[in-house]
Amino acid sequence: MVAVAPFAIIFGAMAAVGLLFYSFWDRITAPLSRISTMYTEDLERAAIKIHSEQIVVGILGFSISAWLMAVVILKPGIPIAALLLPIMVGAAVLIFRSFVRGRAEKRAKQFNEQLEMVLRMMSSGLRVGLGLRQALVLVTEDVADPARVEFARAVGETNIGMTLNDALEGLGRRMPSDELRMMIDAIRVQSQTGGNLAKILDHLASTIKSRREIRRKVSALTGEARAGAWVIGVLPIFVGGFVMLTQSIMRDAMIGTTIGHIGFGLFIVLEGLGVFTLRQLLQFEI
């Protein structure tokens, strides 16, 4: 029974926090509208259908629950316990933003892979006599998500009075991409100066195809370096976990002493900086 008591305390505290947030949900979310605006653009790019105020409250609830769990398990002193709470909140914010931005980047990558086909479909539509808006409607009927959703939204915005150029500008903000930016600029310039837009879109599609081939070659050439970066980043975590499981003296020193807590915090910071540095070194702009 004594061994089960800490876990019962943890789950009881988490349930109490959850009940508290549920009871005062409206009052808590009301003043958070300004804070939550920092997530609005990322959520829109990632196509996550969650209110940003709810996400902020969820982050706070998760941070407090994780803090209570850390306090019960590690049993730190009062200064370190007080320092852990803002650290937990900051870590939760960074983790969630990384998750959302990862989803947004994945969605943008899928969109860019469809852009060559979209441009060729638009060019074909213009060649058979369709207008630019009708060519965009054709795209929304024949391509898959996420291109279908984004171009359908742009067409829908033109239905409520927005100009096509402004609707495409909005699309460019939601799907940041050099190739899409070139398409939007080409359409704007052609609308002002005239010219064969179908031919321009064909050339742009060929350019996108060449850039994609270069990216694939770079990805193949840097595959070994990326695998090494993963090994370097994950190896300390596995070694530390193995030591904690097999060396009870070191585990107790890490969990039950102030110096151990400081060392554990430094490990997390240095590991994070190492992973971030390796990731930046392996990024290439094409």
pLDDT tens, 237-247? 787 778 777 87
CATH topology of domain 108-220: Receptor-associated Protein (1.20.81)
Per-residue pLDDT band at 39 (split at 50, 70, 90): low
- The rounded percent of the chain whose pLDDT value lies above 90 is 0
Q: What is the per-residue pLDDT for 5?
A: 59
Per-residue pLDDT band at 28 (split at 50, 70, 90): low
Residue from 81, 82, 89, 34 nearest 60 by CA = 89
Q: What is the per-residue pLDDT for 33?
A: 54
- Residues 176-199: what's their mean pLDDT? 83
How is residue 197 written in tokens?
């837009």
Per-residue pLDDT band at 12 (split at 50, 70, 90): low
- Residues 54-79: what's their mean pLDDT? 76
Q: What is the per-residue pLDDT for 4?
A: 56
Residue from 184, 182, 160 nearest 170 by CA = 184
Average per-residue pLDDT for the chain: 77
Q: What is the per-residue pLDDT for 82?
A: 75
Per-residue pLDDT band at 274 (split at 50, 70, 90): confident
- Residues 243-265: what's their mean pLDDT? 75
Q: What is the per-residue pLDDT for 27?
A: 61
Q: What is the per-residue pLDDT for 286?
A: 59
Per-residue pLDDT band at 180 (split at 50, 70, 90): confident
Minimum mean pLDDT range among 49-53, 101-105, 108-112, 173-177: 49-53
Q: What is the per-residue pLDDT for 111?
A: 86
Q: What is the DSSP string of the chain?
A: -TTTHHHHHHHHHHHHHHHHHHHTHHHHHGGGHHHHHHHHHHHHHHT--S-HHHHHHHHHHHHHHHHHHHHHHH---HHHHHHHHHHHHHHHHHHHHHHHHHHHHHHHHHHHHHHHHHHHHHHHHHHTT--HHHHHHHHHHHS-TTHHHHHHHHHHHHHTT--HHHHHHHHHHHS--HHHHHHHHHHHHHHHH---HHHHHHHHHHHHHHHHHHHHHHHHHTHHHHHHHHHHHHHHHHHHHHHHHH-HHHHHHHHHSHHHHHHHHHHHHHHHHHHHHHHHHT----
Q: How far is Cα 60 from Cα 2, in angstroms, rounded to an integer?
A: 30
Q: What is the per-residue pLDDT for 34?
A: 56
One-letter amino acid identity for 153? Answer: R
Per-residue pLDDT band at 181 (split at 50, 70, 90): confident
